[in-house]
Chains A and B, each alone.
Chain A
């Protein structure tokens, strides 16, 4: 692989790494999710430094060009990530619903007691 390209990709990965760390520092992401993204970056760095892995693997599986395999993998990965996000949104909706209900019922009870006094 072209040296310039390798340097460019590594710079990009470093930038992403800094972005993640910064987000965690600002408390906009928890460590649980940060580790996930950092592990992904490690995997990507391995591929950038040793691109032969991808060439051999795609040959073995039967892709005509390695980039096809990368696009397919990327597609499935993003599909999976958005799937997980949808489930976590559903769970959060359920929790928010519960909160709204309980607070509203409590307020009703407090108001009613206030009127009696």
Chain B
């Protein structure tokens, strides 16, 4: 099994070395080895220099694309290099490498797509702010209504997919509000999805990309994308 960890990074000069060290540690500790690729999303800080200095595997996007376009580049890379499993792993230090193994195992057990979730049980101490949790619950409820399936953490960026998912996402992946929409799209197209509890940490440095004044517009747009995606059945190549 060839496993690729996709690490989107936008201005993460303070976190990126830490994140890669996590992956290196993981490979020392676990039997299922993983490769990684950093997608440097047109960072304007020293992310690029740090990657070059340490000789990291990196794709430098020639212009900033946003999280959706960056992650999709990772899926394209996975497809080009014939990986069996691709895992999204944030470059900002939120995700815990010790759960990569659980995600990989769930794919090996026959699931198409596995989501690492903060909200299934109390494993994760860090559960985001109250207002954001309220928003996430609302999206979760909406997905339940639209698709009949309960996804506890639809905005989680810690996810793993098998070859079919890699193929699909390399071909089409939403740019703007990628996580909830792509999940609904997979449910709608009858992919086998599993959510497992994981730990997440607070961002180590820097700010989350979703700013407060934009959050209402964000909620409205994500809800709309969930509703529209749940009634569209696109043909899969």
Contact = CB atoms under 8 A, between A and B. Distances in A.
Given A94-B175, A108-B77, 17 more contacts: A93-B175, A97-B65, A100-B61, A100-B65, A100-B69, A101-B61, A101-B65, A101-B72, A101-B73, A103-B62, A104-B59, A104-B60, A104-B61, A105-B73, A105-B76, A107-B60, A108-B58
B73 A104 contact: yes
Nearest 9 interchain pairs by C-beta: A108-B59, A104-B61, A101-B73, A97-B69, A100-B63, A104-B59, A104-B62, A100-B62, A103-B62
Nearest to B37: A108
Majority DSSP secondary structure for residues of B touching A: mixed
Nearest to B170: A101
Nearest to B63: A100
Interface of B: 58-63, 65, 69, 72-73, 76-77, 80, 175
Contacts of A94: 175
A48 B62 CA distance: 52
Best-buried of B58, B69, B80 by chain A (most CB within 10 Å): B69
Nearest to B68: A97
Interface in A29-87: none
A105 B63 contact: no
Contacts of B76: 101, 105
Contacts of A97: 65, 69, 72, 175
B62 A107 contact: yes
A93 to B, nearest CB: 7
17 contacts: A93-B175, A94-B175, A97-B72, A100-B62, A100-B63, A100-B65, A100-B69, A101-B61, A101-B72, A101-B76, A105-B59, A105-B76, A105-B80, A107-B60, A107-B62, A108-B58, A108-B77
Majority DSSP secondary structure for residues of A touching B: helix
Interface string A89-103: 000011001001101
A71 B60 CA distance: 51
A105 B39 CA distance: 10
B170 to A, nearest CB: 10
Nearest to A94: B175
A104 B80 CA distance: 13
A101 B69 contact: yes
Nearest to B69: A97
A61 to B, nearest CB: 35
B62 to A, nearest CB: 5
A50 B155 CA distance: 60
A54 B190 CA distance: 56
Contacts of B61: 100-101, 104
